[in-house]
């Protein structure tokens, strides 16, 4: 009886050792086969924007690449989120007022 228990334990451990477990990968490590940017400065090797903000101001930047006012957000991500169930939103940068 003890031999049967050992054999079952051994077989069970071997089955779990070869069981495939799917791992989820975050979108940040995933390579995309298609372009993300389909409309902004397509001839540039890299799209980069630099702005200086004055104290007491804020800017709302697009992160979905769909804004008609890129690099600023125009809310285009909301339509995308409704259609896909995604949760993308803008980057909001603010500079506190000097005291």
Catalytic residue among 46, 58, 79, 97: 46
**pTM reported for the whole predicted model:** 0.59
Beta carbons of 53 and 45 less than 8 angstroms apart:
no
- Residue 70: inside a domain, yes or no? yes
Which domain covers residue 61, as residue numbers? 57-95
Question: Quick one: pLDDT at residue 8?
Answer: 61
Return the SS3 of 79. helix
Binned at pLDDT 50, 70 and 90, residue 71 comes out as: very high
- What's the pLDDT tens digit per position in 75-91? 999 998 999 999 999 99
- Residue 91: inside a domain, yes or no? yes
What Cα–Cα distance (Å) separates residue 57 from each residue in 62, 68, 79, 86?
17, 22, 27, 29
Report the distance separating Cα 76 and Cα 90, nearest Å: 10
Give the domain CATH number at 73: 3.40.5.90
The larger pLDDT score, comparing residue 77 to residue 3, is at 77
DSSP state of 28: G
Residue ranges of alpha helices (H) inside 1-99 are 2-17, 76-84
Domains of the chain: total:
1
Q: Is 46 a catalytic residue?
A: yes
């Amino acid at each position: 009886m003890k031999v049967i228990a050992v054999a079952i334990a051994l077989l069970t451990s071997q089955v779990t050792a070869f069981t495939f477990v799917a791992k989820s990968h975050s979108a940040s490590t995933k390579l995309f086969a298609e372009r993300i940017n389909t409309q902004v400065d397509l001839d540039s090797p890299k799209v980069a924007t630099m702005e200086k903000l004055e104290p007491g101001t804020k800017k709302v930047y697009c992160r979905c690449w769909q804004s008609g006012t890129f690099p600023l957000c125009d809310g285009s991500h909301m339509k995308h989120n409704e259609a896909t169930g995604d949760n993308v939103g803008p980057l909001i940068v603010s500079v506190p007022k000097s005291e």
